[in-house]
Every structure is written in C-alpha cells, then in structure tokens.
Amino acid sequence: MHALDIDTFPLSGLRLIEASAGTGKTFTIAALYLRLLLDAEPALGRDLDLRDILVVTFTEAATEELRERIRRRLRGAADAFAAGEAPGDDPVLQGLLARRDDHADCARRLSEMLTRMDEAPIHTIHGFCHRTLRENAFESGSLFRAEFIADEHHLRRALAEDFWRRRFYGCSEAYARWVRSEWATPEALLAAVKGYLDRHRLRVIPEPDDDALAALEQRFEATATRAAGLWREAGDEAVARLHEAAASKVLSASASAYRADRLAALRPLWATWFDAPHLPLPAGFELLTPQTQAGHVLKAAARRGTEPPAHPLFDACGELAALAAELAGARRIQVLHDALDCLREGLRERKRAEQVLSFDDLLTTLADALRGPHGSALADAVARRHPVALIDEFQDTDPEQYTIFQRIYAGREGCGLFMIGDPKQAIYSFRGADIFTYLRARRGTPADGGRFTLATNWRSTDSLVRGIDALFRRNPRRFIFDQGIDLPAVTAAGRADERPLTIDGATPTGLRVWFHERGEKERTIAKGRARERLAGACAARIAGMLASADAGRARLGDEPLRARDIAVLVRSHSEAEAVKSALDARGVASVHHSRESVFATEEARELGHILHAVAEPEDEGLLRAAVCTRLIGLSAADFHEALRLGPPWEARLERFAGYRERWDRRGVLPMLHTLMHEEGMIRRVFALPDGERRMTNLLHLGELLQEAATEHYGVTALLRWFQEQLDDPGAAGEAAELRLESDAELVKIVTIHKSKGLQYPVVLLPFIALGRAPDDAAAPLFHPGDDELVLDLGSAELDAHRAQAYREAMAEELRLLYVALTRASHRCELAWGRYNDGEHAGLAYLLFPPPDPDGAPPVAELPDDDAALRAPWEALEAEHGGIVTVTALDDGGGDAGTPAAVGPPGRGQALALDGHVRQGWRLSSYSGLLTSHAGQLIEQPDHDAGDEAEPAAADTPGEGIHAFPRGARAGTFFHRVLELADFTDPDDLAGHVARLLPAYGFDRDWAATVTGHLSGVLATPLDDSGVTLSALDRGQRLDELAFFFPVRDVGAAELDEALPEVGDGRRPALTFGRLQGMLKGYIDLVFEHDGRYFVVDYKSNHLGGSAAAYTPARLARAVAASRYDLQYALYALAVHRFLRSRLPDYDYDRHFGGVRYLFLRGMTPAQGPATGVYRERPPRALIERLDALFSGDTEAA
C-alpha cells in the first residue's frame, strides 16, 4: 500500500484508503473534497460542482459532522485564495495555491458554493438509496408513492402468527407437543429466525429432505412401538436391573445418575410416555440407553471388567434416543427453512401490497434494480449526476451496499469511487456489516496505485502509538484473516505530546496494566467476582486521579486533569451499571453513553402503566397501577388515605379523564406535558437517584410517542405500538438509543461500539480481558467465501463450521480490542489476569497466540502461573521501552482519596443539617444480633447462610438428598420451593422444583430426587399428633410472614440470661452490645392446626450423610451452635404479639402450638418426628419476660 499524499492522490478510478485510528480520516475526506472542486479537470475532463460529489456515510450524526467539516474546509480555502496565501501549517492549501493562478476566481467559486452547501449530496447510505429510487422510479421499477417505515416488526409478527396457524393448527397432538417444546409461541419462533430475515444472500444448510424426514418418522414410530412393547413386557425387570447395578457399585448412584429415589421418581414418567410415544423424550430417558450406562460405570467396576446391565429394552431405547435426536434435528431444519422462506416472501408481498418500504428495502431494491434489465441505464444516470463518490466508514459495508457502488462506478471512465475506512475497526457484524465484502472490494482495487494508507497518527502520544503497535505485532496472525487486514506502520505526529499528561511532574507510559492476581487456591478468577472487583478498582483509580488533580499533581498540559477527560469503555449495560455504581459510591459523578434502547428502561415500563390508565380512566385497577409507579410516586399511606377519604381519589379519576380528553383533542405529547405538570412528576423524577437520566428518558419517550402517532392513529393503535416496543426493545433502531442526559464535566462510561470515532485523554478498560465462551447450542453463521454467508442448522460438517464461526467471532473481538485501545490520546489502562473464560478474550489471543489457528478454533493457551501471565507485558517493555507499566490491581486507587469536586459545575450545595440524630437508634435483626454490629439495614428472609453446625459430620458422603449441593444457594432454593408450592398438590410441587432448579443454578437432573424427598418432607408427621404439612391448605398457612417491632434498650447479657439452655448447654455468647430501635425479621411459615398456631423454619443444614445424623440430640447441638434458640424465641414473641392483636380471646397456652425447626435433609415419613424435626414450645414465662424486656419494662422483665 502507498502512503497517501493528498496533493498527488489520483482523482479518478477505484481507490481504497485505509485510515488507521487517529490518522485523520475526516480531515482527508474534507481535503479530497476540496481538491475535487478545484483540481478535478485534469483527471475527469471537467470541473466539478458540489452537487456532483456524492459523500456517503452510515449515520445521520456522521453526515452532519462531515457537512460541517467540509463547510469549514471550504471557508478556510476561500479565505486563503482571497488573501493569496495559506496558513503555514496547511500543506494542502499551500499546494492548491501554488498550482492555481486564478486565486480570485477560486475564492469566488468557493464562496458561492458555500451558500449552497445544503445542496451538497452528503447522505447516509439509506438516504442515498431513497433519493436515487425516487428520482429514477422508471429505471429502478420502484413504487412511485411508497411510504417509508422505520419499523416493520408489526408486519413480521403478523406473518409469524399466520405461519404458525397454517403450519401447526392442523397437526397431530404428538407433533404439537414437540413444537411447543421447541418454540412455545409464534413470537418465540419469530425470535429464532428474525436475525436472518435481512441477510438476503444467506444460504441455509442442510436443505430439508422431505423423503428422508418421512422415512425418519416411520423408523422412529416403529422403534418406539417396539420399545413400548418391551417396556410393557419387561419394564419392571429392566428398571430392577438398574437398581441392582447401582446397589452393587457397577453404575454410579449419584444425583444425576442411577440413585434409587431418582429411578423411582422417573419410572412413572417413563410408563406414561411409553403409553403414547412422541417427541420430546421424557425426563431421564437417557438412563435407559446403553451409551449413558457405559458412561456411568464406576472406575472400580471397569477395572474388574464388569459390564453395565444388558437388556433388550436398553438396546431399543438406545436406538430410539439416537433416532429422536436425528428426527428432532430434521424437523427443526424443515420448520426453520419454511419459516424463513415464508416470512421473507410474505414480507415482500405484504409491503408491496401496502406500498411501504423499510430501511433494508431501500438497499435491496436499488441493488436489485442495478442487477436488473434496466440496471445499466440506472447506473449511467447516477454516474452522470454524481461522477465521484466518497464512501466513508467503508469497512462497515455489506454485500448489497458494495454491489450498488461497484455497479455504478467500476470500470467507468471519467468517474471516481473512493472507499475510505479501516478494516481493523469493522465491529458491526451484528448490524449486517460484512468484513468479507470489504476484503472482496479491496481485491477489486488495483494493488499498484489503487490502495492507500494514512501514515501519521494525529491523536495519540508516541508512547501509546508504539505500545499498541507493539502489542498487536506480538501475534503474526494478529487479525486472524490477515490476507487483507494489515497493520500499517504509523508514527505519532506529536500533537498529544505537546500537551502531555503528567503525574507528579513525570509523563507516564501510554499503557498501564492492572495485574489481577489469583487467590491462593484459585485456578481462574470467577467472572462475577472479577467484575465486581474490577469495577471497584476502576472507580478507585478514577477517584485517585481526580484527587491528584485537585492537589495539582495530575495535569493535562497546563491544566488539571478533569473528570470529562476520563472515559471507561465497557461491552454491556451490566458492566456500565457496575462501574457507575462503584463511581457513585466514591462520590464521582458519571454519565453513561450507550446503544441500549430507551424502551428497555424502567421509565418506559412505568410510562406504559400511566398511558394505559389515561387510555381507560374508568378502570380503577389501571389507575392504581399508574399512581404506584415511581414516576407518580403515591406512597402506600397516601394511596390508602386517598381511597379511604374518597374525594381525593375521585379528583384523581377526574384528572385522568381530562388527560384522556386532551390526548384525543391535542395529541399524546401535549397530554404528557400536562400530566407531568399536574401530577408533580418533574420535581419527583429529579429527586430520584439518576433523576437527570430518568427525565431524559421520559422526554425521549414522549418524543418517540409523538412521532409514532403520525403512523399509528388513535389511542389504541399507539398503545399497541408502545407495547410492541416494550416487548422487543432492540427492534426500535437508532432513534430509540439512550440519549446523553448531560454534557457537564463528568466521567464518561461508554460502550466500545458507541465509542468508535470518539477520543478521550485517558481511557480505562476494566473488563477487556473477560472472555466469553462460544454458545455451542447456537447454529453457526459463517463465511465459506467472501461473497457467501451460510447458516448451518445441523449439517454433517457442523463441528468444522462451528470452528469457522468462532474464528470469525474472534477476529471481530480483536478488532473491537483495537477500537477500544485506540480511543485514548494520552493513556490507556486495562486489567489483565487469569479469568474464567479468559482464553476467549482477544487480548489473550494477542499475548498467547494459539499454535495453529487454521486447524482449530483460535483459543489462547494461557499459563497457570501468574509470573508467566505477566511475562508478555514485561517483554514488551523490555524490548521497546517506555510503552507499558504493569502494576498490581489496586482497589484503593493508588493516589487515594476522593476528589474535592467531581460533579457537574454550577450545582447547588445541600443544606447543612443542624438537628440532632440519635446515634444509638438502629434497625436490627436476628442476623444482626449475632454479628456484633448494627445489623443489616434491609433484613432478608433467613435462607441459611451455610452449614454452620457439626463441621466434622458435614463432610460425610451421602446419597440422595444428602448429596445435594450445600450452602446458602441451596437454602434459598428449598425455601422458595416450599413458599410457592401447594402442599396438597404433588404435581404443583414437582412443577416448582423443575422450574426453580435451573433458576438457582442446579442441574435439572436433580428434579426427581428433590421432588421425591420434599414430597416425603410434606408427608412427615411433625409431632405425636400426626399433623403433616401435606394436610395444610393455603387458608391454613402464612408464608414468609414479616414482623417489625420496637426494642427499648436491650443488652446482650440480659437477653442471653433470659434464654434457657439448649442441649448440652454449649452455645456462643451474644456480644451485640446494647440495642435500641426496631427489630425486623421473616418467619418461613406460620400455620394453624386444630385452633393452634405453629412457627416453622426450614433448615437445609447438612449434618451427615443419612437421616441418622438428624436425631434430637444432634439437632439440639446444631440449634445451640447456631443460636437458633434466639431465633425461634424472637419468632415466637412476634407471633405471640400478632395473635394477641388479632384473636379476641387469645391465650398463649391455648393458642400457641410451638416451633418446628425442620432440618429438611433429615426428614422421612418413616421416621416421623424422630429425625429432622426439632420441636420446642418456649415457656409462657419466657415469652412474657421477652415481651417486657423489649418493651422497656425492666421490672416485669
């Protein structure tokens, strides 16, 4: 490639200009535009007017920026020609003045054209296509009066529903079951294909084979019939062999394998399925197959040569499982193929019938026209009107865009097509951008004289330019597809170095790496924990830099470093929120730039409630939902008072009826403005956390509603449109992207995609080394060649195609890394460490290149020790010097301290509090009383912190429920199941278990074991009366009962002395100091039986590997060790006070039945209350003493 010299750049033909980050791409476009106006005649045989030069870019904002930059360039040139001299730092103007003798004429021409800048065809690609189709309707064959629509989601949804009805309503019940297991609704099916509807050159493989599918259906039916017969003949015998193999230590009896209770729970499911075989297969069916059995043979049995049990049923089930997978895949291929074809064709027909065009249609219609019979005439017309085209951001092109410009300009004399972009910054494949199309275009330009590069970086310091260059040159295959994506050498112009970043008078290196060391026993750092710590370290670092700036130690040139000079780049909204929260905690104000949709915000959801209430003001249910939103903010007390008094509520009903009338008469936006004023929303929203952000979202939503009202007439239609946007926020497009709520001096939090084209003095990349493992369940989308895109739904080459798709994803990950690193002008700081899935990060690929990226997915091979992980960075510094500094990850910010003022300037100061706040008053809980501090501000239901008791026994291996994972998550899961389940309905319990297992991170294979055991828990007598939970209906129980009562100056010693000893009397002493304030808690269950009320608390503690570990003596020791005696005493007191206030004839001895602490793992119906059930009825004297103690009645206490 040739280094571009604007003075000598050829102004005709096909030319490709690759502009690395910071090398002045927009400056170059403006300079070439000026040359085309003044210098075109020798190359093109004619002078050009600004109407002759087409400039195309990809966003409306970019078109306005380019128009302004060109305008300024022409203004400067007109002034220079009028004065007869150019500025000394402008070689382009100097060259033009030297070549032209007619300075006065040039000045006149440029000045005249400046008055017509609005005529300059500077368009987005869609704007260019729209104008071309409109002006060439005959040649293009486009509709004369087509209406343009920005959103076609409603058309797609209607077509998906049509397809669903036609395809599935007449199918068999068995086939319908399979469909529902794959796509529960038409919307789910549409979601599965919508990402491919705009890929017009997409080829889907393999092609459906109806004959093969019919044969598969027959084979499956025949094999299923044979297996069902074997089940009826010998199913019991086959299952018995599995039990025997597990009992004799041949097969694993683990939770996910052949444990006895799991087999017992699965057997009726299998029996039901074999009565009417169909897809999908029933739960646990794989246990009946020889393949699964072979995989669960225990090692000791394998060493002995013991084979898994054999049975004809197992062989048939193995054959059936393989056929089921093959059949489901073939059906899926057929349905998705048909859905894609139907929706594509249906969209074309529907839009033509309704005479509408979408954004995507503009491109495809013009490209098809250029390929059609009148294509030559159309291309001639466009080329005559615009003999030269400059295409900005060409790396983000796609096949249709390239087709358009290639057919207009390729091989045409007297014309020029200049494609300007940087393939290293091609990061928009999710929008359809295609780097392979760029590479094809690159090969289509002459290698000698057709390809140019910009060789000077005007943005960054020398240290940063050299550091980024050295980092990428570590890997010879730095961008994976290296045939066509170069890393041209660039040199720093020195502008950034003239205004250096200095800390304590010294200029730091351009790159700084925060090395995140692993814990002593960590092989990799979990991503969740890493994200939290990295966000905190990032916030600490920023606070430290700004504190140093306040002290005069951190400067940018002659000025202090400011918050607006710092940007944090992230990948996702969740990462941005983590950083923003960490910055808020340190008092550092920030603003989030994002491509997230405003329809995905809380304000959008709440506005939806308000709009529905306005639309139907007579519906009090809708109004109640609206006034309880944060936007209107009616408190529970105010809400209750308004309903109780009547007139205030009636006045609100009348106001909402008035809003509806205003909506009908004046439109949605005037109505919203009135509502916001009369309901006090503006003041209330600004008082909320992130109030400015929320108000920006609210005003943005109002504008979008007003705009949509021009297409969706009437209140009902507009509400339907708004709900569609809420259901699918991503479909709303660029217009719905979150707007910047403030441009004040704030730290910027920006997604990497949004940051493209921007620059900041200091950039932090806290999460750049967190990789993402590929989704092996997703169908791979890949390019077998430059001009083809393939979706593989399950071909024979699926694995190879997954590897190719991964290579393409990693290549884009590397380009995203390049964009992120090159946003900084002075310093870029990033974190590095051995994170879980870190081998999938682009940074890992650069630092530790895989040996053979062509033969396998290019996954980095990361070392296990931290010294080796640091080595590449140290080698870069040793080899190049002055480019990178490696420091330990510092949560304290290094320069420490909180900046004196980092919020927006000009804000008022909060008033000083001159009142008195009692320091001793606090809100506490049972948990708080145990931890010797003020307690949790928000007490959550007690769901077992872990396995506190009997540590020696906790490691005893067990089976069944005793092998279920332990810890707080398990406790929360059990509590949630028992809270939601109907104790009288076994199917309801099973449904909640199946749904909640994956929700809490547990394998679905536990379903049978957990359901079976909890069914036993519900059937276990809780005392000698025989009462069981399974006998309780919803009317007899209160779940998660919250209590809240005052405490008047109670000390730990007093409370400890009041509580009787439990078990052997060994229990830790309470040490919480004195408590005055409020005590809050949650009781798992309070139930009524025979007129008496019982307190139940569920415990998931693991005390041993069988029910024998849960005897009364063992339970008493566990209760004492964990101070559950305090907990149940507080719960009993809370229920005592509750019943006393509700029952007119309440008597503790008659009405309170006692407490039952249910250690779930140890409960069995056979043992009854003898194992797993801790029973206690605190004496009446104790409850009355505690009642007096907490009430401050020291004499009674």
| Catalytically annotated residues | 1097
The token duo for 447 is 């290698």
Contact 513, 470 (CB under 8 A): no
In the sheet where 554-556 sits, what is the strand order?
501-503, 554-556, 559-560
Rounded CA separation 972/1040 (Å)? 12
Q: What are the strands, taking DSSP E only, across 34-178?
A: 53-57, 122-124, 147-148
**Max Cα separation, the chain?**
113
Rounded CA separation 471/487 (Å)? 11
Say which amino acid occupies 55.
V
Contact 752, 427 (CB under 8 A): yes
Q: Residue 909 CB: number of other CB atoms within 10 A? A: 5
For 95-113, letters b (16+ CB in 10 Å) and e give bbbeeeeebeebbebbbeb
452 φ/ψ angles, rounded to the nearest 5 degrees = -135, 160
Contact 1146, 1133 (CB under 8 A): no
- Cα torsion angle, 1176, 1179, 1182, 1188, sign: positive
Alpha helix ranges (H) inside 485-552: 495-498, 527-550
* Stretch (H or E) spanning 692: helix 691-708
Rounded CA separation 247/252 (Å)? 9
CB within 8 Å of 662: residues ≥ 6 apart: 670, 671, 674
Contact 512, 829 (CB under 8 A): yes
CB within 8 Å of 710: residues ≥ 6 apart: none
Rounded CA separation 958/409 (Å)? 75
Nearest to residue 926, comparing CAs of 1122, 1160, 712? 1122
Nearest to residue 858, comparing CAs of 846, 866, 869? 846
The token duo for 1030 is 């399974």
* % helix, strand, coil for the chain, step of 5: 55, 15, 35
Q: Is 677 exposed, middle or buried (0-12, 13-18, 19+ CB in 10 A)?
A: exposed
Rounded CA separation 638/306 (Å)? 74
* Stretch (H or E) spanning 420: strand 416-421
Rounded CA separation 913/922 (Å)? 19
Rounded CA separation 838/844 (Å)? 7
Rounded CA separation 8/932 (Å)? 79
Rounded CA separation 963/983 (Å)? 24
Rounded CA separation 845/855 (Å)? 15
* Stretch (H or E) spanning 320: helix 312-354
Nearest to residue 1162, comparing CAs of 1086, 1098, 1069, 1117? 1098
Q: Please enumerate, as own/partner, the contacts of 688-691 that have beta carbons within 8 Å and a separation of 24 or more.
A: 688/630
The strand pairing partners of 885, in sequence order, are 512
554 φ/ψ angles, rounded to the nearest 5 degrees = -120, 120
